[in-house]
Amino acid sequence: MCHALLQDPSFFRLLLRIDEDLAGETRAGGCSCGGVLHRADYPRKPRGCLAAVRAQFESRFSFCCNRCRRRCTSRSVRFLGQRVYLGLAVVLVSARHAGQTPAAARLSGMLQVPVRTLGRWRQWWRDRFPLTPLWQWACARFLPPVDSGQIPGGLIERFTGEPAQRLRRLLIFLTPLTVRRMIALPEGR
C-alpha cells in the first residue's frame, strides 16, 4: 500500500509544498538575535527520489542570520536529518521486513538500499528513536502503547486516513527530529 507512494510524483510534490511552508515559518520567525534570515540552502543528493521531481529535491531549505551568521535550518518532511535517503524511503523501507516478502524485497531492490544501511536504520528506530525527546514526549499519547519493536511500521498504522495521509502525518510528526535544535513541544504530560 504505502510503498506505491515512492513512485507517486504528486506525493513528492505535496512533501515539497509542506517543506516550503515550514521554511516560510522559519524565515518569518527570524533569528533569536533579532536578525533577518536569508536563504542559504544546503545542496543534497537525495536517494530514493523520483527522477521527475529530483531537481526540486536537491536542496534542503536553510537560512543564515544577517547579523550573527547563525544557521537556522527548517524542519523537513523530505529529509530525515543527514541521511542520504529521503525520509519517505527511510520510513517505508524500515517498516517492512526486507527480504521476507516479495513486495519488501522489490522495494529494497528498487531503492538499492544496502543491507548494512537498512540494518543501521532499523537499529536507530529500535535503540535511538525511543530515546529522542520527541518520542519521550509522544509515546504516552498513543493508546494502546506502540510496541517499540514495531516502529516505524506500527507507528504508521496509528495515523488515520488513506495511506498518503497517514504517511504525510507521520512525516510531519517526525519533523522535530530533522533539526538539531529541538523544537519546543506543546505543554502536557
- For residue 170, give the amino acid letter: L
With left for phi above 0 and alpha for psi between -120 and 50, is residue 137 left, alpha or beta?
alpha
Is 36 a binder of Zn ion (CB under 5 A)?
Answer: no
Is 167 a binder of Zn ion (CB under 5 A)?
Answer: no
Contact present, 154 and 145 (Cβ < 8 Å): no
Cell representation of residue 79: 529529509
Q: Please, what is the minimum distance in Å from the beta carbon of residue 32 to Zn ion?
A: 7
- Cα gap 133→5, rounded to integer Å: 28
DSSP string covering 100-138: TSHHHHHHHHHHT--HHHHHHHHHIIIIIGGGSHHHHHH
- Smaller CB distance to Zn ion: residue 65 or 98? 65
- Smaller CB distance to Zn ion: residue 36 or 185? 36
Is 65 a binder of Zn ion (CB under 5 A)?
Answer: yes
Is 177 a binder of Zn ion (CB under 5 A)?
Answer: no
Is 33 a binder of Zn ion (CB under 5 A)?
Answer: yes
Is 4 a binder of Zn ion (CB under 5 A)?
Answer: no
Query: Which residue stretch of 60-68, 86-94, 149-157, 178-186 sits at the interface with Zn ion (rule: CB under 5 A)?
Result: 60-68
Is 68 a binder of Zn ion (CB under 5 A)?
Answer: yes
Q: Please, what is the minimum distance in Å from the beta carbon of residue 27 to Zn ion?
A: 13
Q: Which runs of E-coded beta strand occur in 40-80?
A: 42-43, 59-60, 62-65, 71-73
The contact set with Zn ion (CB under 5 A) reads: 31, 33, 35, 65, 67-68, 70
